[in-house]
Amino acid sequence: MFLLAMRSLRQRPGRFAGTLLAAFLGAAITMTFNSLHDTAAAPGIDDASAETLNLSGGVVGGYGTLLVFFAIASTLTVTVRQREEEMELLRRTGATPRQLGRMVVGEAAVVALAATVLAILPAMLGGRVLLGMFHDSGQVARDVDYAFGPIALSAGFGVTLLASVGAAFLAVRRATRAGRRAPRTRLRALGGALALLGGAAGVSTTFALDATDPILMAPAAEGAILLSIGLAAFSPALLRALLACLGRPFAALAGPSGYLAVLNLRRNAARLAGILMPLVLFTGIATATLCMQAVESDAIEASGLTKSVEDKNMETLNLIVVGIIVVFACVMLINSLYAATAYRVREFGRQRLTGATPRQVIGMVGAEATLLTVTGVLLGTAAGLAGLVPFTLVRADEALPGQAPWIWLGIVAVAVAATVVTAVATARRGLRVPAVAAVAVAA
């Protein structure tokens, strides 16, 4: 089975690009921040420097590990689902679920190892940049030298490998035990409800804090993140509700392509979670954090003070964390959407044989992407605002900062571009296959 895993990796390297990228980013980030622990562990380092380094090293730690896990899990689930046919064939030729599991887990482990090795150099560079930042701000003494050592390496390999193998194990278990959907949906609903509760609590805490409290931003930002996660969990249901209201008028306006798009989305809503979730997370988290940062900067400026070094560091770290989350969400979004669209070549073929022109098929994919983006952006914006408005009220005594619409438009532009461009470009490629060949078996 391990040989089989290696062979399938060699033959279809493109299929693992998404997982490789997710694992690479994850390993690079984990090692970058953990190398700060290595640096802090050097002998003769003063206490203040060590504390700063260890604190910063830990900032991304928890979130980072969780994100790496989700990103790898999402890309792997897509790869496994794409290969359902191949796995079915292997099973019919006598492979046991255990053997299939070993194959997929083996592949994931190899990909994770390769990704981590590739990530070592970028992580070293990233760590150096971080340390340089601390040198400049004076938070770490100039004579502290950068070190990349056992802590970074073991965290990088450990987190990436564990996340990959765990995610592969779960993905394959799900795939080989078809027909047991209900518990998963219930689990997701439970998780979503908990996240919503936690988020609401975090956001409410904001009102109990003082306008100049240094930790004012934390509960609001984390509340927005949790609300995004909660709404993301319920996004398929909300998509269905949206289609129930807007489906008919949309189909009437958008013609045959819109008609097909609405039907496809309505009947596949559950499967679209993998695309909607990163969209909601991306919009919600980016809106909340970027706008809050703008409010904070304005407030400091308005009070007549200049930004302290710590304020600046806080801002940079904030932006780094958001950047990481946003990049991961984008990778997940593009990967899921690419895979889902590439998988539909046969369906496109059937539509063309029924009389759809290539332009109508592209129009359908574009309409689906648009509806998905609208749903994701609506939910994400709701979560983002829920965190942002209380923070702005307490900090600046207004409901929304003036820059909010512009920041929001920028975020939406990125979301629309990522979704629509990925879907349409992938569909366009799928249309190059002649329709008759596209519907033939084993295309």
Partner 1 sequence: MFRRNRERGHGPSAEALRLVKVGKVYRAGGQDAGKPGEAGDRESTVTALHDVTLSLPTGSFTAVMGPSGSGKSTLLQCAAGLERPDSGIVVVDGEEVTAGDEAQLAVFRRLRIGFVFQQYNLLPTLTVLENTTLPLRLARRRVNLPRAREILGQVGLGDRLGHLPDQLSGGQRQRVAIARALVTEPSVIFADEPTGALDLRSAREVLALLREAVSRHGRTVVMVTHDPVAASYADAVLFLADGRLAGSLAAPTVDAVAERLAHLGDEVYAAGRPEFRAGV
| 166 near partner 1, judged by CB under 8 A | no
What is the enclosing helix (H) or strand (E) of 127?
A: helix 97-137
For residues 78 and 340, is the Cβ–Cβ distance under 8 A? yes
d(CA 97, CA 72): 22
Residues 217, 392: Cα–Cα separation, whole Å? 10
Q: Which stretch binds partner 1 (CB under 8 A): 37-45, 140-148, 154-162, 434-442?
A: 434-442
Residue type, 406: W
The values of phi and psi at residue 442, to 5°, are: 50, 50
Q: Which stretch binds partner 1 (CB under 8 A): 242-250, 301-309, 350-358, 397-405?
A: 350-358
266 token code pair: 């309505």
355 binds partner 1 (CB under 8 A): yes
Binding positions for partner 1, 127-156, rule CB under 8 A? none
CA distance 52 to 140: 7
Q: Which is nearer to partner 1, 129 or 437 (CB)?
A: 437
The answer to the question of residue 434 lying near partner 1 (CB under 8 A) is yes
Residues in CB range of 158: below 8 A, 6 or more apart: none
Q: Which two tokens stand for residue 29?
A: 């980030």
Nearer to partner 1, 168 or 438 (CB): 438
Secondary structure (DSSP) of 90-116: HHHTT--HHHHHHHHHHHHHHHHHHHH
Interacting residues with partner 1 between 286 and 345 (CB under 8 A) = none
Contact predicate 169/105, CB 8 Å: yes
Choice between 18 and 236, CB closer to partner 1: 236
Our CB check for partner 1 shows the closer of 178 and 215 to be 178
Q: In the window 193-212, what residues touch partner 1 (CB under 8 A)?
A: none
**Nearest distance from C-beta of residue 125 to partner 1, angstroms:** 45
User: Rule CB under 8 A: is residue 350 a binding residue for partner 1?
Assistant: yes
Name, in order, each residue with C-beta under 8 angstroms of 413's C-beta and a sequence gap of 6 or more. Answer: none
DSSP labels, 35-92? HHHHHHTSTT--HHHHHHHHHHHHHHHHHHHHHHHHHHHHHHHHHHHHTHHHHHHHHH
Task: Map the footprint of partner 1 across residues 236-255, applying CB under 8 A.
Answer: 255
Smaller CB separation from partner 1, 119 or 439: 439
Nearer to partner 1, 98 or 271 (CB): 271
Find the shortest distance in angstroms from Cβ 182 to partner 1.
19
> Pick from 133, 326, 313, 316: which is nearest to 228 by CA?
326
- In angstroms, the Cα distances linking 139 to 51, 100, 145, 187, 309 are 9, 52, 14, 44, 9
Position among 351, 375, 392, 422 found at the interface with partner 1 (CB under 8 A): 351
Residue 402 is a binding residue for partner 1 (CB under 8 A) = no
Q: Could you say which residues in the range 356-395 bind partner 1, by CB under 8 A?
A: 356-360
Element holding 271 (H helix, E strand): none
Q: Which is nearer to partner 1, 66 or 252 (CB)?
A: 252
Least distance (Å) between residue 361 CB and partner 1: 10
Least CB distance to partner 1 at residue 172 (A): 24
Provide the minimum distance between the beta carbon of 373 and partner 1 in the complex, in angstroms, as a whole number.
Answer: 20
> What is the closest distance, in whole angstroms, from the C-beta atom of residue 237 to partner 1 in the complex?
18
> Binders of partner 1 among 24-53, rule CB under 8 A?
none
Number of residues that bind partner 1 (CB under 8 A): 26
Q: Which residues bind partner 1 (CB under 8 A)?
A: 255-256, 259, 263-264, 267-268, 347, 349-360, 434-437, 439, 441
